Structure formats: C-alpha cells, structure tokens
Structure 1
Amino acid sequence: MSYEFNPENKLFEFPNPYKVQNLALLVAGGLLTIGGIGTLVSVRERIAQGTDLAALKVIGIAVVLMVLGFAFLGRAFVQLRFFFGRNRPASLAPVIAPDADGDSRRAAEHKETLRQNALTYAEPKGALNGLLYSLLPALIFAPREVRLSAQTQFYNFLALAATFLSFLVCWVAFGQSPAAGWIGLAYGLFAFVQIIRPMMRGRTEEAQLGVGSLVVLVVVAVLGPVILGMLAKGLPALGEVSINSVVCVALLCALVSCAVFGLALKKQLHPAPETVGAARVTETVTMNAHPNKLIEELDRILMTRWYSNIPNRRYTRHSPQVDGRQGQFTAELFEETQPRPQTSRVAEGLGHAFSSPRFFWLTCLTALGLIFTLAGLVAALLVSQHILHGEPVASTAAFALSQFAVAIYCLHAAQSLWGRFDFVSELIWVDINGSYESAQMNVGNQVTSQLHSSKSVINIEAMTVRVWVSEIDTVIFGKDGQRQMVGMRGLPLLADELAKMLKGFGETRSAIVAPTSQQDLQRAQSIGVLGKVVAGVVPPEAAGLSAVQPAEAIAALPACKQCGASMGRDARFCSDCGTAV
C-alpha cells in the first residue's frame, strides 16, 4: 500500500473515528505506565538493602503494569492518524489493467447484484441466532463484522449469565463449607476463560455456541454445586483464602459490560434500506462500424467523469470479437468510481459522542473500560504495598486481575464498533451484445469518376446496449479491512444519459472513407481540375493555368530586329516595340 498526496485534493483527509477510543487508551496507558514506574521507584530502597522474594514479586507487578500500559499506548499511537491513498479502501473485486481484458468471480457477484436489483444478506442459522435476530431485527442489514460481533457477545452474555446463576447457587449452598474457597477459584477460572475467549477469536471468525454447548453450560450450572460438594472432602483446605466476592463482582461487571455493548450495538444498527436497486436502461443501436468503437467511446465518456481525476477501478472488460463475415459478439465494461468517505458518520470528539444517540452507549462502554482499568491499577498498587508489608493479597490480587480482564474486554468490544469507515461510490456496468455482417462498400462512379472510395463495412442491426448505474454504500472495519456493500440506490438519470450518448455515437458513425482535412480537400480539388485539363474539357487559361511552351520551340521563333524580342511565326509586327517584320 502507498499514500499518494495531491495538494489540490483533500479527499483523503479522512476524519479519525477512534478519537474517543484513543483518549481512553492514552489515559489508561499513561496511568498504567506511571503506576508501573512508581512501583519500581517504591521498591528501590528495598532492593538496595538486599533482594528478597517480596521485592521480586513487586518488580513483577511493575513490569506487568508497564507492559499493559505500553500496549494501550501503542494501540492509541497506531490509531492517531490514518492515511488513505487512492488505492484505499480495498476494491470490491480484483482490478483489471487498463489495456487488458478480464473478469473475476467477485466481479460477477456484484454484477449479479445489479442485475437482480437487490442486496443479498446471509441468513442466520441456529436457535440462538434466531433468538438474537428476533430481539434485533435490523441486525440482518448490518455488515458481517457487526453481525459476528453481536453473535459473539450475545453467546458470551448467555454463558456468563449461566455461570453467574450457577455460582450464586453454589455460593449459597456451600459458602460455609470447607470447599468455600474452591468455589471462587473454580468459577473465577471459568469466568476468566469466558471473558477472554471473544478476544482470542478472529474478527471474521464466527462464534460457535450450538445446542451442545448450551447443554454443557446448563449441566455445569446445575451440577457444578453438587460436584463441588462431593469433592469438598478430598480437596485441601485453603484456610481463609476466598475470592467468592471478587468473582461475584467480576461477573456482575462483565454482565453489565455485555448489556452496555448490546445497547451500543442497537444504536449502531440501521433500519431496512428504504430504496434498494440499480437503474437499468436498454437501447437498440444500429451502426456501420466495429462494435469496439462503442467501448472506446465509453472509455472516453467515463474518463471525463472520474471523481477528482482519479481513474475508475475497472473490474471487468470484454472486448468484442468479430471474426469472419458474420456472427455474434458480446462486450462489457464494469467499473467503480473512486470511493469517497462519508464524514457525517464519525464521532468528531468526546462532546459529540456523548450528545449523539449513535455513539452515547459506545462511549459509555469505552468509559467502563477506563474505569475498570483504574480500579485494577489501584488494586495492583495495593497488592504491591501488601506484599512489601507481608499482608495477605489473594483477594486484592484476584480483584486486580478480574478488573483488568473486564477492562480489556470492554475496550476490545468497543474497538469493533469504533473502527468503522463508511464510503460512497458508483458502480457502472455496460453490457453489449448483437450480431454483425461484413460487406464491401464502394462510393463513386467506378468507371468515369476521377475520385472514388471503398471500405470493408461491419453492419450491425439492432444491437442491444444495457446500462446499469447504482450509487452504493460500502463499509470497512479497519483501514485495510475488506469492503462490504450495505446499500445501493439507482441513478436513472446517469444511466439514461450514458445509454443515449452511446446510441448517438454509434448511429452517427460514417461508413464512407473520404478526405476530411482542409489540406486534403484543397489537393483533391487541384487533382480534379488537372484531370479536366488533361482530358481537354477545360482550357488551361480557364483553369487558371498558363500555357507552357517547350524550350526548343521558343528557341526556333524569329526575333525582332529592332528590340530582339521573340515573335510569333506568322506575326507581322513586334508585340513589344511595334516594328514591322
């Protein structure tokens, strides 16, 4: 990829959609880095007196804080500025070189979309997807990344809810037994896996939670307390170590985060498109010229319509093949204008994000990630102090770890919704097909004419020219993400104009070869005059030409004795001086 700069064109100065997200990442990363450095400073005197296990543990905590802080800062720095060159966003299909013919499967899919005059959406599968799409009917019209993210978070919410209910039952039933400490450890580990699992999945990887997974969750939720009760006698005692309250708080925070994500997602969805389609115009053209002339003219027309003088992206070109004296031919050209950003769909700042219904809950989700990060930082600093003073740190350390996990979950979930770039462009598809016959055309009297012309002519009767034009809305997630079409609107005026221009161009092609320049016409006129003089039809004087005499004849003529001028053979007087011969 490359970035191309033109001072006359501000098209590629795309507004940053990550402004609010970057603000939260910078604050969180800065505080974590400062906290890590401060922790190192606080343990320097302890190390100077002699390295012990407690100091090493505190150093480990400081390193973890700095690594997490640098990771947040690095993510924010990457998202501070976006450079969009002419080759971004990614094309809808492989681009064909200007001087080559070609096509592709993806281009054929988009042409079929124009032909069918409708957008195609993937049908949700599975019982849980049926429930999700019934709760959010507009989710079917969302981009694929949004749908996958919604499914992942919905499944995660169900798993966390089942875990939370099972944990409450187990805590109430065995909270006073020797296995009470193991309850928190078991459910804490399981909850940690559920919270982290969505972040381990790729952006375009579909979440899986079928009937079997749901049955396993129910079985664990119902039988988990019983199993722990049965194993309580064989488990070692943990003493006063118990993180049950920490696990309860962590599960509540995770459930609240999932709920806020659901509200943010709902505000990001758009209702069903009010207008969907592509304008199609059909013309019948009769012409006496090679059909490739129409493709050449279409190239010239589209070139005059390049957006900001940026060449269109050509996805299909088929040149007509005319072989033999008669037959059939097809030709087509499928192009997209340069996509341009829709700046109105980006949060301009923190104030705009809180005031806009579309970004309010998404900003709240980002703020939750920042709050949980600060809570984890405070807990980590307390853990380091407790270690240095020899105090128990199990609950505080578990709380810090859980808060960091939920914070990362919130920021990661918000990331998928913040990183949206919307574009608008036009798709233009011209499809030509017909039949031809070749013939020889002679112009002028081939026997008596001094100037005549002949030409091999391709005659095309009632050729069909179809033109589709549609304005499309596309979206990407991440600067280099794959583009998806989310809306299309027909442009009948443009389609009709292109069809009429091609029809007019084809029907005005000349079938006669004749001089066209001014110099050609002057020379042809001179040749015609000379032909008449040679044929004796017109005397040279009448044609504006002077009679030329041979040199020998001039030398044999008598000369005037008085002035020496040449005289005619039968002349009696000199034409110059008048002297008599």
Structure 2
Amino acid sequence: YIFELPKLHFDTSHYMMIILVFAGVTSIFSFILLRERASLADPKTEVSEMRNNWQESIHPQEIFINFENIVMANRRYKEVPNRLYRDYNADLDEGGSDDKGQFTGETIQETQPVYKSLGWSKMFLQVRYLTTLIGHFALLWAAVSLYQNMGEFVDLLRPLSAKMFLEQLYTCIGLGFFVTILWVFGSILSKLAHAFWSEMCFESLVVFFQCQGTFTESRLSTGTSIYDSLRSENVLVRSSMTPWILVSRLVTSCFTATGEKNLEHPRHILEMHSANHELDKIIHEMRGFLDNRETIASIKNMKDLHSTANIQQVNTASRVPPAHHAAMEAEFEENIDEERAIEYSGFQISSDKNRDEPERN
C-alpha cells in the first residue's frame, strides 16, 4: 500500500525561490561578518610573573594593606574603585607561640574596564548596514502583508460552501507561508546584525597577588648606657616571605541589550596580554615602601628635640666636677637668653638682665 500526499492547490515554486534567496543572503552576510570580526581577534593567554623571596622587618599584615590601599589604588581609572574578586584576608597562625608564626594570603583585583574601539573595515561596516536594512525590511514586509490580507483570514469564519471554503483555506495557507518566510529570515538577519552592533570591547588590568611565609618577633632597645637620658624600645617583626605576582592586561567583550540591564551582561575574556611594565612599577612601589620604613622610633619635631637637648645638658652637668658648675650654669643661662630673643616688626626684645627696656633696631 502506497500512501500519496494530497496535492496542493497553489504553486510552491515562488516560495522555494524566496527561501533560497534569503538563505543565500543570510549565509553570505554571516560569513563576511564573522570573517572580518575574526581577523581583529588576537587570542593569547600571556601573563607577567614575579616570584621571589624577601626578608624584611615588617609585619605581614602591612604587606597586604600597602598592596591594596597604595599599590592597587594608584591604578584606579578615574578614581573608580577596583573590582575585588578575592579579598586578601591574611591568615596569621602563631602556632602556639607569642613571638613567631606563619602567614598566608592572596587577592585578585581588576581595574575598571575601559572601552576599547575596534578598527572595523569598510566592508564590515557596509555589510552590517545591509544586514540591518534587509532584516528589518523583511519584518516590516511581513507585518504589512499580514495586515493587508487580514480579511482573507476573517472570511474563513463566515458560512461558505465546501468548495469556496477550501479555496479560501488554500489562499490563507499560501499567505501564511509567505508571511512566515519573511518573518523567520527577517528575525535571523536582524538578530545577526544586532550581535555585531551590540558588541563592546573593554581593556583592563588584572592582578593576582599571593604572599606566604614566616615571621618572628624580637625586641630592639637603644639608649641603654648609664649616661643615656633617653631610651627607645621597639618590637621588631622579621618576616621571611615569598610573594607571587601575576599581572595581565585583559581584552573582554560584552553584548549590550535594551532595557535597564543594558550593560549588566557577562563579559567574555578574549585576550590576555603580558604587562611587564606594570609589573615592574608594582614591584618598584612595594620595594620603595619596604625600604623607607622606620624600625626604630625617633624624634621628628623641634620641640621634642629641644626638650631632649635640655635633658642632655642636665645630665652632662650632673657628671661635671663641682669646680666647673659655675661655668656650666653661665653657659646654660646664655643659651636660654639666646633662645628667648624674639624679633618682630623691627623690634628685638632681649631677656638680658642688664636691659629692661626694648631696643629698636
């Protein structure tokens, strides 16, 4: 038994011709757009790496604080905070002892992505415009055809004879095929064009920093002589650390859309390029911070310095034999008189015991 399909009462050749034309146009435009876009891609996975061992007099927590608040903050784009993918959260383990232990911590940060313009070719721009126009024109043509022939579909609901009903049904099927073909290929072309219109590329710097090692605490004292009037005692933390830094410049791509979430879609990593210059700057800033730190507390203002000098003079006088006390007192009073001399607006007021009145210069 051979089953035969019923014969259609309308010609399908022109529908097949429309399908072949739209399929050919879609394939050619897709190939050209993909080829031009692929020619601009440079897929690489390169990173700049630094691994070393440092022994410095610094607390481990200060290393991560300096890296986040100073080093990475200097690389912000227009004062926009960096994107933090992994917080440093240094883990200090003293191991049951108060003066030694080990530490580990890592962080991953990315600077704010900056828009990167792609150098499109002239052919790419022309084909993208044609794809957009043809796709939207096909959608418009389908909508207009459906609107103009809406009466043919309404006639199916009216009471008709069997023969007229079949003729009207075949007419509506033919119109439905035509509208469907236009709508399908118009949607394909418009979405294809939208994919190449909506792509936005960004460039950013991503940094991975990991540091682990051990630390010990010791006390450092200065001014312990019997003749010293001041004494400074400091707790010195000695860290032996192994930093590991990876730096790469990313090229990412994001497809935008209309609506409130137009730029909130995921970014795709297309390229990873080495950034040796940025790595050298990061190492230089970290080494500068480590080399310029003070281990011993010192005096930094003039008032404390004068107070220390006076205490030193008192201690020196206490060690001088009694025969020289008079000379030391005279020298001490002379130094005080010189320090009290004030010069203001052409007047000089002196604390000399022999002159009680101010003298004009």
TM range (shorter): 0.7 to 0.9
Q: Distance in 1 between matches of 2:302 and 2:60?
A: 29
Query: 2:112 matched to which residue of 1?
Result: 338
- Residue 331 of structure 2 is aligned to residue 542 of structure 1: yes
Task: Name which structure has the greater RCO, CA cutoff 8 Å, separation 6+.
Answer: 2
Structure 1 pair 254–247 and aligned structure 2 pair: CA distance change class (3 A): same
CA drift at 1:453 = 0.9
Query: Match of 2:245, as an amino acid?
Result: V
- Cα deviation, 1:107-142, whole Å, max 9, x if unaligned, reads xxxxxxxxxxxxxxxxxxxxxxxxxxxxxxxxxxxx
Greater alpha carbon shift after TM alignment, 469-478 vs 260-269: 260-269
Query: Match of 1:306, as an amino acid?
Result: R
Q: Distance in 1 between matches of 2:42 and 2:74?
A: 31
Q: Distance in 2 between matches of 1:329 and 1:412?
A: 53
Query: 1:459 matched to which residue of 2?
Result: 238
Q: Distance in 2 between matches of 1:388 and 1:270?
A: 52
Q: Distance in 1 between matches of 2:186 and 2:78?
A: 44
- Residue 138 of structure 2 is aligned to residue 372 of structure 1: yes
Task: Give the one of 308, 324, 344 matched to 2:78.
Answer: 308
Query: 1:252 matched to which residue of 2?
Result: 20
CA drift at 1:388 = 9.4
- Residue 227 of structure 2 is aligned to residue 448 of structure 1: yes
CA drift at 1:474 = 0.5
CA drift at 1:374 = 4.5
Matches within 5 A, 1:389-404: 392=168, 393-394=171-172, 395-404=174-183
Greater alpha carbon shift after TM alignment, 478-487 vs 516-525: 516-525
Matches within 5 A, 1:66-215: none
Matches within 5 A, 1:395-434: 395-434=174-213
Task: Give the one of 27, 51, 63 matched to 1:282.
Answer: 51
Give TM-score scaled by structure 2 length.
Answer: 0.73
- Cα deviation, 1:75-110, whole Å, max 9, x if unaligned, reads xxxxxxxxxxxxxxxxxxxxxxxxxxxxxxxxxxxx
Task: Give the one of 125, 132, 139 matched to 1:359.
Answer: 125
Q: Distance in 2 between matches of 1:418 and 1:379?
A: 28
8 Å contact kept, 2:57–2:238? yes
CA drift at 1:328 = 1.9
1:230 match: secondary structure: coil
Query: Match of 1:365, as an amino acid?
Result: T
8 Å contact kept, 2:114–2:204? yes
CA drift at 1:315 = 1.9
The structure carrying a bigger strand percent of its residues is 2
Q: Distance in 2 between matches of 1:381 and 1:328?
A: 77
8 Å contact kept, 2:203–2:251? yes
1:489 match: secondary structure: strand
8 Å contact kept, 1:261–1:361? no
- Residue 247 of structure 2 is aligned to residue 474 of structure 1: no
CA drift at 1:274 = 6.8
Query: Match of 1:305, as an amino acid?
Result: R
Give TM-score scaled by structure 1 length.
Answer: 0.47
Query: 2:350 matched to which residue of 1?
Result: none
Q: Distance in 1 between matches of 2:178 and 2:44?
A: 51
Which ranges of structure 2 fall in alignment gaps of 5 or more residues? 156-163, 257-262, 336-361
CA drift at 1:267 = 2.3
2:272 match: secondary structure: strand
Structure 1 pair 398–276 and aligned structure 2 pair: CA distance change class (3 A): closer
Q: Distance in 2 between matches of 1:269 and 1:404?
A: 29
Query: Match of 1:249, as an amino acid?
Result: M
Query: Match of 1:544, as an amino acid?
Result: E
Q: What do you get for the CA RMSD once the two structures are aligned?
A: 3.2
Query: 1:325 matched to which residue of 2?
Result: 99
Query: 1:515 matched to which residue of 2?
Result: 299
- Identity across the alignment (%): 17
CA drift at 1:446 = 4.7
The structure carrying a bigger helix percent of its residues is 1
Q: Distance in 2 between matches of 1:325 and 1:253?
A: 81
Query: 1:528 matched to which residue of 2?
Result: 312
Structure 1 pair 309–512 and aligned structure 2 pair: CA distance change class (3 A): same
Query: Match of 1:332, as an amino acid?
Result: E
- Cα deviation, 1:205-237, whole Å, max 9, x if unaligned, reads xxxxxxxxxxxxxxxxxxxxx9xx6153xx6x7
Which ranges of structure 1 fall in alignment gaps of 5 or more residues? 1-225, 348-354, 547-581
Aligned length: 306
- Residue 218 of structure 2 is aligned to residue 435 of structure 1: no
Q: Distance in 1 between matches of 2:41 and 2:185?
A: 34
